Structure 1
Amino acid sequence: MKQQETLASLNVSRETEAQLHDFVALVEKWNPVINLIAKGSIPNIWSRHIEDSAQIIALAKLSDYWIDIGSGGGFPGIVVAICLKEISPSTCVALVESDMRKATFLRQAAALLELNCEIHSSRIESLTIAPAATLSARALAPLPSLLEYAETLVEKDGVCLFMKGQTYQDELAAAQKSWSFEHDIVQSQTDSNAAVLKIRNIRRVAD
C-alpha cells in the first residue's frame, strides 16, 4: 500500500499526518544504528508499521492512561500517542521498553513531537506503575505471558489489545488452559493472516 493510500485510510488531520511523517523520518534516521524495525520493512513502513499500529485505536478504551509494553521502535506506542494528541489529548501513553538504546530513541521522539508520553526503561516484570484502561503489545510474547503482565497492568474493566500473527488461534488455546477471559478476534487491516486480540475480564484459572 502506498503512503498516500495509507494516510487516506487513517483519516487523520494534516497536523497528525505531519507528525507521522516526522516520526517516520526519525525511525529511518535511527534505524541503521539501533535496528528499530527490520531493514526490509522500511519501504513499506507506512502500511506495515504506521497503519498497522493506528488500527488499534478504534478498539481501545480511551481514558487518562494507556500502557504499551515492549514498545521497541514506537510501534504501536508512539503512533498511538501521535494520533491521540488530536482525538484524546488528555490520554498519557506509557511506553515500556527495557532496551536502553530503544528507550532513548522513544524519549527523543516523544520530546521532539511533544507527545503526552512517559517512557519506562525497565523490564515489565519489575514495573511499578498504575494500571491503565488500555494495555497494548505488538509482537512481544506468547499470549499466556502477556496475560501474566496484564493481570497487574490493566484496570479491572479495562481492555487488552494484543497484535498477533497467524498463530493467534494456537495462542488462544494455550492461554485458555490457565486463564479465563472474554475476547474478540479482530482481523488485521494490514495482514490477512494476522489479528488483534481484544481481551477483557482476565481471571487466573484455579489449579
Structure 2
Amino acid sequence: MPGEASLAPLTPGDVQMATNVSRETLERLEAYVALLAKWQKAVNLVGPRTLKDVWRRHILDSLQLMPYSPKETASALDFGSGAGLPGLVLAIAGVRGMVLVESDARKAAFLREAARVTETELEVFHGRIEMLPARKADLITARALTNVAGLLGYTWPYLKPEGRCLFLKGKGVDEELKEAESLWEMRVTKYPSRTAPDGVILQLEGIRHVGDA
C-alpha cells in the first residue's frame, strides 16, 4: 500500500464522488475550506501541512462518519471541536442538533463564523466539557481529543442510554480499549478509516460503568 505522502491530494469532486454529498452540501464545504485557510494564517486551527490535502485529511475524514450516524439523530455533541472536525462538517452534511464544544475562545469564534458562512444550524459552546449544561445526546463525536477512557469519562454524563459514540482513532486504539474496559462496559465496533491506513472509526454503544446493574 503506498504511503500517505505519495497520494495525490483529493479534490472537492473526488470527495463528492466518494461520499455522494449533494452539490449544495459540497458548495458549503468549499466555503468552509476557504474560511479555514483564511483563518489558519492567524489561528492554529489544524496542522499547517494538512492543508495541502485538506479534502482528504479533514473533510473526507469527517464525512466518513456519516454512514454510522443514526438517521434518527436529533441531538449531537462534538467534543473538542477545534476547527469543527468532525462536528461542523457532519452538521453541514445533515446531522441535526449539533453542539460544538470548544474551550479555546479563538477557535470558538471561528466555529461561529464558519456556521454563519456555511448557513449551518448548530450551537457553539465555548467552555470546558465539564461546564456544558446538562443535556442528553443521541450521538457524541470526537477526534484527537484524548484516549478512550478519557473520552468515556467526558461522554457518560451527556449520552442517552441508547446513544452512540463515534471516535476517530489511530493505531493505538486496541491498547486504549483494553485500558477503558477496566472501567467501562460497552459494545465495540471498529471500522477501517478511509483516510489513514492505521486509522479506525470506533463505534461505542451500550456504555455503562463496570459493575452497574
Describe the SS at the equivalent of 2:182: coil
Determine the C-alpha separation between the residues in 2 that align with 1:41 and 1:7. Answer: 19
> What's the counterpart of residue 3 of structure 2?
none
1:66 paired with 2:76, answer: yes
The counterpart of 2:98, out of the listed 86, 93, 101, is 93
The counterpart of 2:190, out of the listed 185, 195, 198, is 185
Structure 1: tracts of 5 or more residues without a match = none
Checking the alignment, whether the CA contact within 8 Å between 2:61 and 2:195 is kept in structure 1 is yes
What are the residue-to-residue correspondences of 1:1-207 with 2, within 5 Å? 1-3=9-11, 4-61=13-70, 62-84=72-94, 91-206=96-211
* TM-score relative to the length of structure 1: 0.94
Checking the alignment, whether the CA contact within 8 Å between 2:166 and 2:203 is kept in structure 1 is yes
Give the drift of 1:6.
Answer: 2.1
Give the drift of 1:12.
Answer: 1.1
Structure 1 outlier segments of 4+, above 6 Å: none
Determine the C-alpha separation between the residues in 1 that align with 2:203 and 2:99. Answer: 19
Give the drift of 1:7.
Answer: 2.3
Give the drift of 1:56.
Answer: 0.5
Checking the alignment, whether the CA contact within 8 Å between 2:141 and 2:167 is kept in structure 1 is yes
Describe the SS at the equivalent of 1:33: coil
Determine the C-alpha separation between the residues in 2 that align with 1:129 and 1:119. Answer: 15
Amino acid at match of 1:175: A
RMSD, aligned CA: 1.3
Give the drift of 1:8.
Answer: 1.2
